C-alpha cells in the first residue's frame, strides 16, 4: 500500500491505468503534488520575484538565461519552493562556484555560438544538496501519509456527484464507491489514494473542459444526452 501511495505521490495525480474502466493520466508527469499556492520566491542571485507555482517555468528560465544556472533533475525535487528558498539564502553570501559544478559550453543561453561560455550546475553530487533533496522528499511523504490517514477517517466530506445530482456525505470512500456503482468510473481504491479532493477537482475540471478521462481527447461539445442523468429523471431515480 505504501508503495502505491509513494507512486502517486511522486508522479502527481498520474495513476496506473486499471484493466477495466480505469482513468489515464490526469496531469503531466512529475508535476508536484499538492503544490503551494501563491508563494513568492526570490531569484537565487538577484531581486526578481516569482510567484509559484504559476511562475515556476519563468523562474527556471530566468536562472538559465540571466545567471546561467541549471538545476539538475528539477522536476524530481519535492517542495521546490522550499528548495529554492534554501539556496537563495546560501547564495546571498556565496558565489555559484562554491556549490555548483562549472561547465564550459560553446554557446550562449540563446543558443548562438560562442566559445567557452561558463555555466553552473546545481545538483545532488554536492552532499549538501543531496541531503536537502532527501529531507524535502521525506517531508512531503510524511505530509502525504498524514493526509492519507485523515481522508480515510474524515466524515465531514460532502460533494455533489460528477455525473448526477446526488450529494454524497460522509467518507470519501463512499463517494468513490458511488462513482463506480452508479457510473462505472473506477478512480481507485481509497486505501491507495491520497489528496482525493484535489483528484476529484481535477476530474471535474477535465469534464468541464470536455476532456476525456481515458485518452484526453478534447470534444467540441457535449454529446447528446451525455449529462442526461443530471435531469429531473435522475433525481427521481436516485430518490427511489
Does position 116 have pLDDT exceeding 70, yes or no? yes
Q: Other C-beta atoms within 10 Å of 69: how many?
A: 21
Q: Which domain holds residue 188?
A: 154-239
CB 62 within 8 A of CB 43: yes
pLDDT at site 21: 36
Question: What span, in angstroms and rounded, lies between the C-alpha atoms of 176 and 156?
Answer: 15
Give whole-number Cα distances, 218 to 178, 184, 206, 212, in Å.
25, 21, 9, 6
Query: Which grid cell sits at 47?
Result: 531581486
pLDDT, tens digit, 9 for 90 and up, residues 41-52: 999 999 999 999
CB 195 within 8 A of CB 144: yes
CB 164 within 8 A of CB 238: yes
CB 38 within 8 A of CB 51: yes
Phi, then psi, of 25 in degrees rounded to 5: -65, 130
Map residue 29 onto helix, strand or coil.
Answer: coil
Q: How many CA atoms lie within 13 A of 134 on its CB side?
A: 8
Question: Of the candidates 82, 116, 143, which is a domain's last residue?
Answer: 143
pTM across the whole model: 0.70
Residue at 131 is within a domain: yes
Confidence of residue 185 (pLDDT cuts 50, 70, 90): very high
Question: Of the candidates 108, 143, 178, which is a domain's last residue?
Answer: 143
Q: Are residues 158 and 118 in the same domain?
A: no
Phi, then psi, of 48 in degrees rounded to 5: -65, 140
Q: Are residues 133 and 203 in the same domain?
A: no
Count how many domains the chain has.
Answer: 2
Residue at 184 is within a domain: yes
Does position 14 have pLDDT exceeding 50, yes or no? no
Amino acid at each position: 500500500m505504501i508503495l502505491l501511495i509513494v507512486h502517486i505521490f511522486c508522479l502527481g495525480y498520474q495513476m496506473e491505468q486499471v484493466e477495466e474502466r480505469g482513468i489515464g493520466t490526469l496531469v503531466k508527469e512529475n508535476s508536484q503534488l499538492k503544490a503551494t499556492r501563491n508563494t513568492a520566491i526570490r531569484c537565487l542571485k538577484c531581486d526578481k520575484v516569482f510567484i509559484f507555482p504559476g511562475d515556476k517555468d519563468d523562474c527556471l528560465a530566468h536562472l538559465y538565461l540571466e545567471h546561467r544556472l541549471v538545476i539538475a533533475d528539477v522536476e524530481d525535487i519535492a517542495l521546490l519552493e522550499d528548495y529554492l528558498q534554501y539556496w537563495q539564502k546560501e547564495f546571498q553570501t556565496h558565489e555559484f562556484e562554491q556549490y555548483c559544478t562549472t561547465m564550459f559550453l560553446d554557446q550562449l543561453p540563446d543558443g548562438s555560438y560562442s566559445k567557452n561560455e561558463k555555466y553552473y550546475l546545481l545538483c545532488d553530487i554536492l552532499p549538501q544538496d543531496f541531503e536537502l533533496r532527501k529531507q524535502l522528499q521525506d517531508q512531503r511523504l510524511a505530509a502525504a501519509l498524514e493526509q492519507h490517514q485523515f481522508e480515510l477517517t474524515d466524515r465531514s466530506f460532502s460533494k455533489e456527484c460528477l455525473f448526477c445530482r446526488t450529494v454524497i456525505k460522509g467518507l470519501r470512500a463512499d463517494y468513490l464507491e458511488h462513482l463506480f456503482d452508479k457510473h462505472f468510473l473506477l478512480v481507485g481504491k481509497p486505501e491507495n489514494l491520497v489528496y482525493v479532493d484535489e483528484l476529484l477537482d481535477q476530474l471535474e475540471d477535465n469534464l468541464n473542459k470536455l476532456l476525456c478521462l481515458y485518452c484526453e481527447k478534447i470534444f467540441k461539445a457535449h454529446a447528446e444526452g451525455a449529462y442526461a442523468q443530471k435531469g429531473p429523471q435522475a433525481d427521481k431515480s436516485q430518490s427511489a
